[in-house]
Chains A and B, each alone.
Chain A
Amino acid sequence: MSAIQRWRLSTMFCVALSLAFFAMGARSVLAPPAGAQTGPPANPLTVTEIAAGVFVHQGAYAVFAPSNRGDIANLSFVVGRDAVAVIDTGGSAAVGQALRAAIRSVTDKPIRYVINTHMHPDHVFGNAAFADDQPEFIGHHKLARALAARAERYLAVNGELLGPEAFAGTRLIAPTRVVQDRLVIDLGGRELILEAQPTAHTDNDLTIHDVTTGTLFLGDLLFVRHIPALDGSIRGWLALIDRLERIAAKQAVPGHGPPSADWPAAVQPQKQYLQRISADVRRMVKEGRSIAEAAASVGLSEKDAWVLFDEFNARNVTAAFAELEWE
């Protein structure tokens, strides 16, 4: 068989496979937010009230495993006079239900908004637990397409990591309302300012500012203790940190880390890590070193400053190299 036939064959195969996935209902992976969610009552997640009416559950420093059910990211809710807004829902429907139980142990007010800070499974997989509340699901204007591009893979890979029990009922729910640039929602005497950010941690990062208490919810734009994970642009992320630092807030809620941390002091270790990666990768590109050499050596001096370093550092370096070698 000639090589031409070989690639024609690959093309044919890909089309066939695409059709097959389509027939399987790939488009329906992003399910509409409807349908009854019934099941045994969930044990509420532990939450900390970091400011008046602001509750945060701290996720484990871990990667997806059956034992943690995907409870590895920080999940928050803000209670206003009339309504509740949820900020990120956890890595499975089960975690989402436990978060919902935590909310219900604090307030009976309606859950009107479910906000996702970005596309990653540990932040969006719990959305299904809130479908019955019929909230507005709010995200960055690029969140829906980012999820659509990854839905099949996210569900397959993470379903396997979590196992059938922890994964049961998990599905993706796309935003019903998008933030183009800036959106203010009112919980009743309490405004949250939502801002769609340019490509940084991902290409769909959203920040939420609770002006009432001076709390900034940064999703995975801020990692504390847990090593940052790069899935967007290292240049974009560093540039955004410079802007975010100027926001006058008392405290920030990281996507991974303690429930709250002083702002902007909390971002300094992350900034140093990203600057170190960026500088070392640029130097290695300049020296003509390879991406494999960079992945094996860059950032190692930062190892002791972070948990889960081995899980993410080389991957971050790989992504940074592929970005910065085009400069």
Chain B
Amino acid sequence: MTELIARRSVLGLVGVALTGLPATLVRAAEDDPWPGLHQDVFRNRPISEEDGLVTLEAPMRAEDAALVPLTVKIDRDKASAPLTLTLLIDKNPAPVAATFYFGEASGEIVLSTRVRIDAYSNVRAVVETASGSLHMTTKYVKASGGCSAPALKDADLADAELGKMQLRQFAVENATSASREVQLMIRHPNYSGLQMNQLTGYYIPAKFISDVEVKRGDVSVFRMEGGISLSTDPNIRFTYRPAGPDDVLTAVARDTDGLLLNGSWPVKSGKES
């Protein structure tokens, strides 16, 4: 519990929450949250920055702060498996957007997802290798209001489709590639807790996809722990290493209310998509 308290005081969240003064919010936003995050999430362990092991693509200016595409690439030749990837958005209310634990069936690591960004912020991809070394790359993204933007453009459409999962499979561009690329799509509002309930005028409690595990057969491709910074309709594009023509990919996702979603897809072979 001391950790929790320390973390909260570091981020200045308690002050913001209890006083509710916009000025406090502004001040908290101007402080550099990284030293506190470095301490809380990585226990101040040394981090090698911009060493080429991990790269991050992010727009300089987000077109939609509630839907900012990020792509992370990890150079496996430089990294000993198993690998963990943490995505952080410094100035978001909950800075850790997601943590990915890559398993034995993960391919060349190219992973894309979509996040909410609440204020102009550094976005970080931090990789931990099997040997325990930490590697980070950082991009500054101009975006604001992503966490409080309404989760749904069409408020009525969402309920009908909640929990629907799709796996899209893409043609292999490089026939010799040992990896296949797929995209997992989950219909879920991923309520951040900062969005208003449209009927009552109260804030909607946070409810989001907190856990996703994708396997090829019994072998893990990755497990993800997600937070409120992942966009509505969580979307993860990733690669896996095929084992044979009868591969089946499965996904299990859970949200914070205990909703359990299951999907299973036979893998298409060859170049068709």
> Which A residues lie at the B interface, using CB under 8 A?
1, 3-7, 9-11, 13-24, 26-27, 30, 142, 144-146, 148-153, 156-157, 199, 202-203, 231-233, 236, 286-288, 290-292, 295, 314-315, 317-319, 322-323, 325-326
Write the chain B residue with the least CB distance to A289: B170
Q: Return chain B residues, CB-CB under 8 Å to A232.
A: 153-154
C-alpha spacing A294/B194, complex, angstroms? 29
Q: Return chain A residues, CB-CB under 8 Å to B16.
A: 17, 20
Partner of B94, one of A10, A315, A318, A319: A10
Q: Return chain A residues, CB-CB under 8 Å to B71.
A: 290, 292
B243, CB-defined interface residue at 8 Å? no
Q: Return chain A residues, CB-CB under 8 Å to B168.
A: 288, 325
C-alpha spacing A15/B193, complex, angstroms? 7
Per-residue A-contact encoding for B1-32, CB less than 8 Å = 1, 0 else? 00110011000011011111010000000000
CB <8 Å contact, A153 and B145? yes
C-alpha spacing A292/B62, complex, angstroms? 10
C-alpha spacing A31/B3, complex, angstroms? 42
B229: min CB distance to chain A, Å = 9
C-alpha spacing A21/B22, complex, angstroms? 10
Write the chain A residue with the least CB distance to B170: A288
Write the chain B residue with the least CB distance to A230: B153
Q: A26-B201, A232-B154 are in contact. Are A13 and B227 (CB under 8 A)?
A: no
CB <8 Å contact, A231 and B153? yes
Partner of B228, one of A10, A151, A157, A290: A10
Q: Return chain A residues, CB-CB under 8 Å to B187.
A: 326
CB <8 Å contact, B203 and A10? no
CB <8 Å contact, A9 and B69? no
Ranked 9 nearest A-B pairs via Cβ: A14-B193, A10-B94, A145-B198, A18-B203, A16-B17, A288-B170, A20-B20, A3-B225, A315-B63
B252, CB-defined interface residue at 8 Å? no
A-B contact pairs, 19 of them (CB 8 A): A1-B3, A1-B40, A1-B41, A7-B225, A7-B226, A9-B4, A9-B7, A10-B93, A11-B206, A14-B228, A16-B14, A142-B155, A199-B153, A199-B157, A286-B273, A288-B170, A292-B69, A295-B59, A323-B153
Q: Return chain B residues, CB-CB under 8 Å to A24.
A: 20
> Which B residues lie at the A interface, using CB under 8 A?
3-4, 7-8, 13-14, 16-20, 22, 40-41, 57, 59, 63-64, 67, 69, 71, 93-94, 96, 99, 112, 114, 144-145, 148-150, 153-157, 161, 166, 168, 170-171, 181, 185, 187, 192-199, 201-203, 205-206, 210, 225-228, 233, 237, 256, 273
CB <8 Å contact, A203 and B155? yes
Q: Return chain A residues, CB-CB under 8 Å to B192.
A: 14
CB <8 Å contact, A325 and B185? yes
Write the chain A residue with the least CB distance to B153: A232
C-alpha spacing A288/B22, complex, angstroms? 43
C-alpha spacing A30/B196, complex, angstroms? 12
Q: Return chain A residues, CB-CB under 8 Å to B196.
A: 26, 148-152
CB <8 Å contact, A21 and B8? no
Write the chain B residue with the least CB distance to A294: B69
C-alpha spacing A13/B205, complex, angstroms? 11
CB <8 Å contact, A20 and B18? yes
Q: Return chain B residues, CB-CB under 8 Å to A30.
A: 201
Write the chain B residue with the least CB distance to A322: B67
Known A-B contacts: A295-B69, A326-B166. Give 18 more (CB < 8 A).
A1-B3, A3-B225, A6-B96, A6-B227, A7-B226, A9-B7, A10-B96, A10-B193, A10-B227, A11-B193, A11-B228, A17-B194, A18-B194, A142-B155, A288-B168, A292-B112, A323-B153, A326-B161
Write the chain B residue with the least CB distance to A147: B198
Q: Return chain A residues, CB-CB under 8 Å to B69.
A: 290-292, 295
A239: min CB distance to chain B, Å = 13
C-alpha spacing A233/B237, complex, angstroms? 24
CB <8 Å contact, A16 and B13? yes
CB <8 Å contact, B59 and A292? yes
B189: min CB distance to chain A, Å = 12
Q: Return chain A residues, CB-CB under 8 Å to B185.
A: 325-326
C-alpha spacing A318/B153, complex, angstroms? 13
C-alpha spacing A315/B198, complex, angstroms? 24
C-alpha spacing A285/B99, complex, angstroms? 27
Q: A5-B4, A157-B145 are in contact. Are A203 and B154 (CB under 8 A)?
A: yes
CB <8 Å contact, A14 and B93? yes
